[in-house]
A and B are shown apart, each in its own frame.
Chain A
Amino acid sequence: MSDSSIIWLLLASFGVAVLVLASRPWSGRTAFSIAAVPPALTSVCSIVWLAAGDSLTASVTWVEGLGLEVAFRIDALTALLGLIVAGIGVAVFVYAAGYFSSGAAGLGRFAATLLAFSGSMLGLVWADSVWTLFVFWEMTSVTSFLLVGHKYADPTAQIAARRALLITAAGGLVLLAGLLVLTGADGSTRLGALQPVGGTTGAVAAVLVVVAAATKSAQVPFHVWLPGAMAAPTPVSAYLHSATMVKAGIILLAVLQPALGDTGPWLPLVVGVGLATMLWGAIGALRQTDAKLILAWGTVSQLGLMVALLGVGEGKATFAAVSILVAHAVFKAALFMVVGEIDVRTGTREIAELGGLWRSMPVAFGVAVLSGLSMAGVPPLLGFAAKEAGIEAALQLGGAERAVLLAGVVGGSVLTVAYTLRFLLGVFAGTEPDGLTVAPRRPAMTVVSGLLGLASLVGFVLLGVVSDRVRAGAVRIDPAAEAYTLLRWPGLTTAFAISMAIVAAGAVLGLVLVRRDSAAPRPLGADAVDAMVTVTLRSARRVAGVVQHGSLPGYVLTAAVVAALAAVPFVTEIDVDTLRPWDSPAQVVLGAIVLGAAIALTLVPNRLGAALGLGAVGFAVAGLFVVQGSPDLALTQLLVETVIVVGFVVGLGHLGRDFPRFGLLWRQVRIAVSVLVGIAVAAALAAAGSRPTGAPPRQALVEESVETGGGNNIVNVVLTDIRALDTWGEIIVLVAVSVGVVSLARAGRDEQAGQRDRVAPETERELTEVAS
């Protein structure tokens, strides 16, 4: 079943984004309500799709010759993920309208970028072709870079955005390589039709894909960009961390699991990376004092859990991973919104400066408790049922896998409970510190976070519905997931006992650590990334300084020598028999004029004389074209010469009358290079003439141009019809060149006028900022 509504929904996202960006009247907070329309429509459609349970596809031919398609597929999994992306998207837009003050700058730009990001994420989720997936994957990297760097004047945001882009874009390249290996082995580019790949090819593809997923989903050791991305406004954090960007890697692993799950490196790599991330993220969360950073590190940890469960490649574990993904999207979005509200109303996010907010911010407190406990896996909340499934999945495994996964999940969960408690108690418990003022409530923020907070509870109440949808989605990844459901009351099982033990142990740990102030260390690896950026910029500047030295004679000489050397291989192909002195006497005369003018050109001391000499050469060459029977070429040559004369008229006024004097050595160098180039061009032309490649298809061209082009001038028909694509490309080049020439000429004159070069100090500033 084909359905173009998918494509319309995507077009709506990007179209409205452009509209919002372009329209000034909507640049205030109105922009958010307009931007919320496409995700709202998408949410409605997703719910319909989920209810219908059909599988829909849509595709558009992209490049016909290469078999490239922009293809999408809606099934139980992608509809569920799309609902999360769009649904939380709507919430984030409404929330943002409350978060920003009405006078804040750049709201239209922000709303447009957020909407474009949302559209990219939907495309990524719905993609059915690996190349469609890749394109949208890269688009999320770019748009999230813009979002993280929204406050572009702020150096922290600059560094964070650059770090995020560096890591996720590098991951994108790795993904491209991985997809090439995968499709090369498999032949199919449809995600739904990928066959399991084995052997070395599969192993290489698996490693590349896992690395790419790890960069996007902030797995150890690529997690350093995510906490830094907290420099973004809170709505962005809520969106990126709960529903979208960081889930992209999980989605990638999920959709490629059927093809790559059986390869050797997949299981140890994915499970190992996931568990390491879960533990390291939870430890990181415990060491933070900024409430938003606690949650950010918590996201890293939760993502690790999902990755580890997906890596196991067993029905129950896959089912648990999808359940946790859904539960996490709900509670993490709500928690970030609460922190954003605290930030806006109190002006701080440091838990040392907060406390006792349960009294003054009761709604936020309620939301935080519900969502926090869901995160900690406490009943009766959605997070509990999901985590319970995870523990069950670990228990079902056998041997070493069981021990490793169980140890990781239990350890990580204990730490999760601890940092949740640290966050909740640190912000809400006790009495308010002196000097803390709480600004009045902003309804948009409260309502949205309140609804999302309740969703964790409602999800548990309606566990049957959630469970059905999750199961349907998980089946797409692993058919064995069919057998499982989320349990509201699992009974007194081992898993339940472990669950309760985790909560108890975590509570104790959290109470011990709650008021312990630890100096928040820089995230491990951030220094390495920053050093890399610094070194790249510095060496780029050094290389540019050598290559782009700014000396015009230097460039001309280099180009001429290189071109001359390129002609050397052809010298041996010259066939002396084909060389004739001339075809007609007129050529002798014209040739003599060209030579004479060229020699005179080198001898005249002033610029006007040189210009005249050049003109003489040009017009004589045009005459040669006429003699040779090429009137079109001659006409163009004449016209170009004319324009060049006008150019001299305009330009000579700015230059001195005479050429500057050169030293003897420089003169000799120039003479040597001129002779070399002259010989090389002559040799290349002689070689070309020695190698006729058959008679020109003149007759065919004449017929073709009269019949299809309707014109007798073959040259022009070729230019405007038969090879019109070339002409089109050339005029685009012309426009680009003129832009370049104009800006160069203006820059040169500005410099002459005494203005300082503005590029270098800017680079300098960048470098010092990165280094600091």
Chain B
Amino acid sequence: MIAERSIVVRTGIELASPLAVVVAAYLFFAGHNQPGGGFGAGLVLGAVAALRIVVGLSAPRRPVVLMGIGGVLAGVVAIAPLLFGDALLDQVVVDADLPVLGTVKSGTALIFDLGVTFIVVGLVVAVLLALGGDELAGEDRS
């Protein structure tokens, strides 16, 4: 296993993973007002997930499921307005006063963006695994 041979890489990725998740979360929420967004967040999470799989750490291994979740989320947000007589993909904006965070403004576009994130994570994991990641993670090919 590659993980047994390169303990440094493995540990490095393990330490970096939480940071990557924080960065992804930042990018995801920052996207509303600053550079960032669901696509970028998805890329970060996807790359980390793929690296974790390569070195044998725990990570989602069924990219199809992730893509499915993303597709359903985006699809629901897209179609739901039709049921209320609005146009396809019409978004609802909500203001909420939360403790600590203060006034938070959000909308259904955020859920749509979450769908994008899931799909991108699934895409990155699927493609990297298909290109050979799952073999690296599996038996060592001497």
Binding site for B on A (CB under 8 A): 631-632, 634-636, 639-640, 642-643, 646-647, 649-651, 653-654, 708-713, 715-717, 719-721, 724-725, 727-728, 731-732, 734-735, 737-738, 741-742, 745-746, 749
Contacts and interface: CB of A to CB of B under 8 A. Distances in A.
A742 B124 CA distance: 11
Contacts of B129: 742
A636 B93 contact: no
23 contacts: A635-B35, A635-B40, A639-B43, A643-B43, A643-B46, A650-B54, A654-B135, A708-B91, A709-B93, A709-B109, A711-B32, A712-B33, A713-B31, A713-B35, A720-B37, A724-B91, A725-B78, A731-B115, A731-B116, A735-B71, A742-B126, A745-B131, A746-B130
Contact of A647 (B27, B63, B122, B128): B128
A495 B32 CA distance: 84
A511 to B, nearest CB: 67
Contact of A738 (B37, B112, B127): B127
B88 to A, nearest CB: 7
Q: Which 6 pairs across A and B sit closest by C-beta, in order of nearness?
A: A745-B130, A712-B33, A711-B32, A639-B43, A742-B130, A720-B109
Interface in B84-138: 88-89, 91, 93, 105-107, 109-110, 112-113, 115-116, 119-120, 122-124, 126-133, 135-136
A469 B32 CA distance: 66
Contacts of A717: 32, 109
A634 B34 CA distance: 13
Given A653-B132, A720-B116, 9 more contacts: A632-B36, A640-B43, A650-B131, A650-B133, A710-B107, A713-B32, A721-B91, A724-B91, A738-B63
B51 A646 contact: yes
A734 B74 CA distance: 13
A651 B129 CA distance: 9
Contacts of B112: 720, 724, 727-728
A738 B63 CA distance: 10
Q: Which label, helix, strand, loop or mixed, suits the secondary structure of the A interface?
A: helix
Contacts, number: 142
B25 interface: no
A634 B36 CA distance: 10
* Contact-residue bracket for chain B: 35 or more
A701 to B, nearest CB: 15
A22 B139 CA distance: 38
A725 to B, nearest CB: 6
B123 A735 contact: yes
B40 A636 contact: yes
A262 to B, nearest CB: 43
Contacts of A640: 43
Interface of B: 27, 31-40, 43-44, 46-47, 50-51, 54, 63, 67, 70-71, 74, 78, 88-89, 91, 93, 105-107, 109-110, 112-113, 115-116, 119-120, 122-124, 126-133, 135-136
A748 to B, nearest CB: 9
Q: Which of B34, B105, B120, B130 has the most CB of A within 10 A?
A: B130
Nearest to B119: A731
A710 B93 contact: yes
A648 to B, nearest CB: 10
Nearest to B122: A738
Given A720-B113, A742-B126, A650 B50 contact: yes
A640 B39 CA distance: 10
B74 to A, nearest CB: 6
A643 B35 contact: no
Contacts of A712: 32-34
Nearest to A632: B35
B136 A650 contact: yes
B55 to A, nearest CB: 10
B103 to A, nearest CB: 12
Contacts of A710: 32, 93, 105-107
Given A635-B36, A716-B37, A709 B78 contact: no
A311 to B, nearest CB: 45
Contacts of A720: 37-38, 91, 109-110, 112-113, 116
B124 to A, nearest CB: 6
Nearest to B95: A710
A739 B94 CA distance: 36
Contact of A713 (B33, B50, B115): B33
Contacts of B110: 720
B112 to A, nearest CB: 5
A646 B31 contact: no
B44 A735 contact: no
For A639, A709, A719, A727, which residue has the most chain B Cβ atoms within 10 angstroms? A639
B78 A650 contact: no
A333 B120 CA distance: 55
B98 to A, nearest CB: 16
B127 to A, nearest CB: 5
Given A653-B136, A720-B112, A639 B40 contact: yes
Contacts of B113: 716, 720
B74 A728 contact: yes
A738 B118 CA distance: 13
B128 to A, nearest CB: 5
A155 to B, nearest CB: 35
Contacts of B116: 720, 727, 731
A653 to B, nearest CB: 6
B67 to A, nearest CB: 5
A227 B105 CA distance: 67
Contact of B47 (A646, A727, A738): A646
A216 to B, nearest CB: 35
Contact of A724 (B33, B36, B39, B78): B78
Given A650-B132, A720-B113, A742-B127, A731 B47 contact: no
Contacts of A724: 78, 89, 91, 109, 112
B78 A716 contact: no
A717 to B, nearest CB: 7
Given A654-B132, A711-B32, A724-B89, A731 B37 contact: no
A721 B43 contact: no
Contacts of A646: 47, 50-51, 128
A716 B136 CA distance: 36
A719 B130 contact: no
Given A710-B105, A728-B89, A734 B120 contact: yes
A538 B20 CA distance: 54
Contacts of B40: 635-636, 639
Contacts of B105: 710
Contacts of A737: 123
A731 B74 contact: yes
Contacts of B47: 639, 642-643, 646
Contacts of B126: 738, 741-742
